[in-house]
Chains A and B, each alone.
Chain A
Amino acid sequence: MPKSNLMTAAILLFLAGCTPQKQVLEDIQLIGVVGYDYVDGNKIQATVSVPTTEGGSDQAVLSSTTYSARSHTSKNIRQVLQAESPKPFASGRVSVIIFNEELASRGITKIIDSLQRDPSVGRNIYLAVAKGSTKDMLSKDYPVGEIVPAYLKQMIEQNMKLTFPRANFHHFNYSYYGKGSDSFMPLLDTKHGHIRIVGVALFDHSKYVDHISFEDSFIFKLMYQSFRQGSHEFKLGKDNYLTLENLSSHVNYDIYNANTNPKINITIHVRGKVNDAAGTPLYQGKTIEMIEKTIKKQTEHDAEKMVDRFQKKGIDPLGLGDRARSSARRFNFKEWNQKYPNIPVHVKANIEVTQGGIVE
């Protein structure tokens, strides 16, 4: 028995040498946001935003700092970045990845491929397109009480609970590798010392081709998914506006003859409340009916116009192709793509206004 104990001890001793590289939290820099900018030809610039702490454990101040570097491949950039950093970088907590407009419109295939191979990159992280340079966006200070990585992440996250359609890295991969849908992501801009979402950046496979405004993102979301929050402004008459607050919305797709002569009906049910309708008496049944009718008309009109725009551009952010595939056997994507711009799409909206606030 002592002999085998000795063996065990020896094995343990020798194995102690082959423990994998340790990563102690204090000794690494956890990248929070990565921004990619176009430089020229096939060179890109990456900027990473890293939370840092200064001061002792009692009065530590949290702030963020940026590093940027240029190179041809995104993995090599990491190497170049490392050359000016006191601690090694770790990408396990990347929460937002931003592409600048020019880079995005030239295609982000290379970067996506590299990100998606990396086992330490999550899937519930947000991708976004930025107007202007991401380096400028990330290196500024914003008086919002949050460091840049947390600010960006929380801003996108809470907007996706409201009017912005849900999109993350998984969704991008879904459309990027799959057939029958195209991806979209938030379009960011710096305005008045803040970062704001200014619209929905629409992609054709890996290229950024078009965008719709932030105001229209609600209409887009109504068609894209069922959800329970968000609000939108409608025009009631001349100089008369009201806001509909969504309590619950539900969308349904009916696709006919997907293989031969496709026709699509999109039905949206919205149950909402109207709070902000200055000057309109909300207690009369007649007015409510009128409001419902107006909202219905505008929603249908705006939605159909939006789909028409997608079809003309040949992009499919709603995933109509993906839905059509699930509605018919032996579905042919080639034929579908040819027919896509001319498929008649009808939107029907059922609006139900249920509440008008706490006073009559």
Chain B
Amino acid sequence: MNLQPKENRLVSPYFAFYLIHTMQVGVGVLGFQRYIAKSAGHDAWMAVITGGILIHLLVWMSYRMLKNSDGDLVAVHEDIAGKAIGGVLSTLFTVYSGFLALTVLRTYIEVIQVWMFPHINTWGISLILLGVVYYFVSGGFRIVTAIGFFSFILGTPLIFLKYFAVKDSHIYNILPLFDHSVTDYFVATKTMTLNYLGFEMLLLYYPFIKHPEKSEKWSQWGVFFSILLYLITAVESFAYYSQGQLKHTIWATLTLWKIVELPFVERFEYIGISIWLFVVLPNICIAVWCVTRGFKRVYSIKQKHTLIPVLILIFAGTLFFKDRQEIDLLNSLVSKAGYYIIFFYIPLLFVLHWLVLKVRRKQNA
């Protein structure tokens, strides 16, 4: 088994910034505001910061773990639980990655259906998008990374659209500070961390970064930039909407784009949604790539051979979830899984791995 991929498959350390950041910004940004505001109201923007700090910490843990195992999550699993049980755990994580891709894809298709083309069939658009995903993922990890880079270039300027909402905003809306109980902040922080999900894919693509130990600072910058983006979005949304209005708005970011007034386009949100394809595309690509990589590491199947079956399964999945309730259910299930993975599983692995290595070092000595 080749643990270390060939050098011509690797990407430079600074690409970790794009990989981490684009994976964290996806369909969540379009409507996370009302979920975090549900518990902490106008104070919920603070949860964006506290949640982000936790993610910084988790990224730090992941790097410690990966550095010591000199491989990826599959290697860590083997270190701790042996080949058989470790393989099962790795398979579970891989399946989770697949569900992550499915959730992003299905939610984006829902946005297209609700906002742009109510008559469009799920299977049609799903097939087209998965075709594109196949094209990129079959190109290898470098291509997937490049898509992440382009996503950053295309998606980030959309943050300037907030400017149009400023004249209709009341900044006093986010006052008074600290108007909620500690439990409220905790719940909002928990909800917020779900939007930061996706960075844990690092556990699988880590060996594909050249001099991976040098990429840590770039990963942390990626997380930092995500926090900044979410923070600006949250503060502006809270100033723009009243809390009651936010409760009714499913896609607060998209609805905010409705105020944009440009001489050459009346309804800017349509353009925004189209550009957003490039923001969600790398999410799907990276997750799908991680699925095939996971299977390769555990079962030694070539990535080429698992790609098509994985895409077919995701395609079937998009047809399975039909309406708002079901899609919401899918989102909350995957979020819950992600929550346990990042807050219980990663710290647990971190501690166990540290102990195992310590014991082993003693035995060797």
Taking Cβ atoms with an 8 Å cutoff, the residues of A that contact B are 11, 15, 18, 20-21, 92-93, 116, 119-120, 122-124, 166, 168, 170-171, 173-181, 319, 322-323, 326-331
Contact between chains at B242 and A178 (CB < 8 Å): yes
**Across the interface, which residues of B come within 8 angstroms of A168, CB to CB?**
168
Contact between chains at A322 and B168 (CB < 8 Å): no
Q: Which of A116, A173, A327 has the most CB of B within 10 A?
A: A173
Which size class do B's interface residues fall under? 35 or more
How far apart are the CA atoms of A21 and B120 in the complex, in Å?
8
Contact between chains at A18 and B121 (CB < 8 Å): yes
Which of these, A20, A170, A179, contacts B259 with CB under 8 Å?
Answer: A170
**Across the interface, which residues of A come within 8 angstroms of B258, CB to CB?**
122-124, 170
The 6 A-B residue pairs whose C-beta atoms are closest, nearest first, are: A178-B242, A20-B117, A18-B124, A177-B245, A177-B244, A123-B258
**Across the interface, which residues of B come within 8 angstroms of A120, CB to CB?**
267
Contact between chains at A326 and B115 (CB < 8 Å): no
> Smallest CB-CB separation from B111: which chain A residue?
A119
Which of these, A11, A322, A326, contacts B127 with CB under 8 Å?
Answer: A11
Question: What are 9 pairs between A and B in contact, CB < 8 Å?
Answer: A119-B116, A119-B269, A170-B258, A174-B242, A177-B242, A177-B244, A178-B243, A179-B242, A327-B175
**Across the interface, which residues of B come within 8 angstroms of A175, CB to CB?**
242
Contact between chains at A170 and B247 (CB < 8 Å): no
How far apart are the CA atoms of A176 and B179 in the complex, in Å?
23
B275 at interface (Cβ–Cβ under 8 A)? no
Contact between chains at A326 and B175 (CB < 8 Å): yes
Contacts A11-B127, A18-B121, A322-B242: A92 and B170 contacting too (C-beta < 8 A)?
no
Q: Mostly helix, strand, loop or mixed at chain A's interface? A: loop
Taking Cβ atoms with an 8 Å cutoff, the residues of B that contact A are 114-117, 119-121, 124, 127-128, 131, 167-168, 170, 172-176, 178-179, 240-245, 247-248, 255, 258-259, 261, 266-267, 269
Which of these, B124, B170, B269, contacts A322 with CB under 8 Å?
Answer: B170
> Smallest CB-CB separation from B241: which chain A residue?
A174
B139 smallest CB distance to A (angstroms) = 15
Contact between chains at B248 and A177 (CB < 8 Å): yes
Contacts A20-B120, A123-B258, A330-B179: A171 and B168 contacting too (C-beta < 8 A)?
yes
B247 smallest CB distance to A (angstroms) = 7
How far apart are the CA atoms of A328 and B127 in the complex, in Å?
53
A171 smallest CB distance to B (angstroms) = 7
> Smallest CB-CB separation from A174: which chain B residue?
B242
Which of these, A119, A176, A179, A329, contacts B115 with CB under 8 Å?
Answer: A119
Contact between chains at B127 and A15 (CB < 8 Å): yes
Contact between chains at A323 and B244 (CB < 8 Å): no
Contact between chains at A123 and B131 (CB < 8 Å): no
**Across the interface, which residues of A come within 8 angstroms of B178, CB to CB?**
329
How far apart are the CA atoms of A314 and B176 in the complex, in Å?
25
Which of these, B120, B179, B245, contacts A174 with CB under 8 Å?
Answer: B245
> Smallest CB-CB separation from B177: which chain A residue?
A329
Contact between chains at A329 and B179 (CB < 8 Å): yes
